[in-house]
Structure 1
Amino acid sequence: MSGDNDLIKLYSARILALAADIPHLGRLEAPDATVKRRSPLCGSTVTVDVKVRDGKIADLGQDVKACALGQAAAAVTGAAAPGATLEQIEKARDQLRKMLKEAGPVPDAPFDGFEVLSPAVDYKNRHASILLSIEAMAEAMQATTH
């Protein structure tokens, strides 16, 4: 039953608190770009709306239908993304992927809140849900530059 204990540890109080308080929850009126991402493995979905001014996220909205880990990741993304450039969002996305898939370091500030999800490294089936929000944010930002 050690696997069950490990899973319980994965859903720590910090993760559950983040999942319960996602910044920028809800949709924006007249966004500059909207991206919806879905994890085929678990069915989690995240829709991200962004408004961009001077190459930075001026406003964002998130509709998050995901497990607690996906919700916690959306909370970290929502807290750190305002004011970020496409380059910063892409760097955070790439660093989060490395943290999860290669046990790499925690992403740089202001995205260092992803540290709370480092116990998920061993749960490959959760990685896609954790990445949804930051991937959707990067894709939405890319759409505003074209």
Structure 2
Amino acid sequence: MELSDLYSQRILEIAGRLGDLPPLADADARAKKVSRVCGSTIEVAVKLENGKVSAYSHEVNACALGQTSASVMAEHILGATPDELRQLRNEMVAMLKDNGQPPSGERWVDLRYLEPVRAYRPRHTSTLLVFEAVVDCLDQIDKDGQDHAAELAVSPARH
């Protein structure tokens, strides 16, 4: 397989669906990830309500592989739980680095088209950027929630 074979018609179609999303002013967290290999960058913002993603935005300056991942994420992230998104990131890493299966779940079915990327290690980082950025946001939200709970636990009650 040649490197150019990675950029199949289906990959280019999915990448072409990537649209601009308005900035998310009231995001619970933001994260930016950069590929040192190709210079691709993805910045995401996430808002959670009732344990699910209720709002999402991104700014993407990436190759077609990074755009494909970002496009699928943007199309299907709303309503996803943090556990589902962490599992998705882990499944993508396993697919690319450990010869694992494509991610499970109907909403993520288009990610199977990225399976050939596993043969090109230098392209793994750009393909995984959006997943790493989303999990970074979730980790920030978790930490903020833990910090807030700890503050409440040590603060004296005021009457």
Is the TM value for this pair above 0.5?
Answer: yes
- Is 2:99 the counterpart of 1:100? no
- Is 2:140 the counterpart of 1:143? yes
Cα distance per residue 1:10-33 (max 9 Å; x no partner): 101111111111256342122111
Aligned length: 142
Residue matched to 1:36: 32
Hey, what's the Cα distance between the residues in 2 that align with 1:65 and 1:49? 15
Q: Which amino acid aligns with 2:41?
A: T
Cα distance per residue 1:41-96 (max 9 Å; x no partner): 11111000111101110010010111000000111111221111111111000000
Map 1:55-94; keep pairs closer than 5 Å.
55-94=51-90
Hey, what's the Cα distance between the residues in 2 that align with 1:111 and 1:60? 16
Superposition RMSD on alpha carbons, in Å? 1.4
Secondary structure of 1:64's counterpart equals: strand
List 4+ stretches of structure 1 deviating above 4 A.
Answer: none
Most deviating of 96-105 and 106-115 = 106-115
1:34 deviates by 0.6
- Structure showing greater radius of gyration is 2
Residue matched to 1:116: 113
Give the alignment's TM-score, normalised by structure 2: 0.84
Residue matched to 1:16: 12
Residue matched to 2:148: none
Residue matched to 2:128: 131
- Is 1:25–1:64's contact at 8 Å kept on the other side of the alignment? no
- Is 1:60–1:82's contact at 8 Å kept on the other side of the alignment? yes
- Is 1:24–1:78's contact at 8 Å kept on the other side of the alignment? no
Give the alignment's TM-score, normalised by structure 1: 0.91
Cα distance per residue 1:111-143 (max 9 Å; x no partner): 232101011110110000000001101111221
Hey, what's the Cα distance between the residues in 1 that align with 2:120 and 2:114? 11
Secondary structure of 2:57's counterpart equals: strand
- Is 1:28–1:60's contact at 8 Å kept on the other side of the alignment? yes
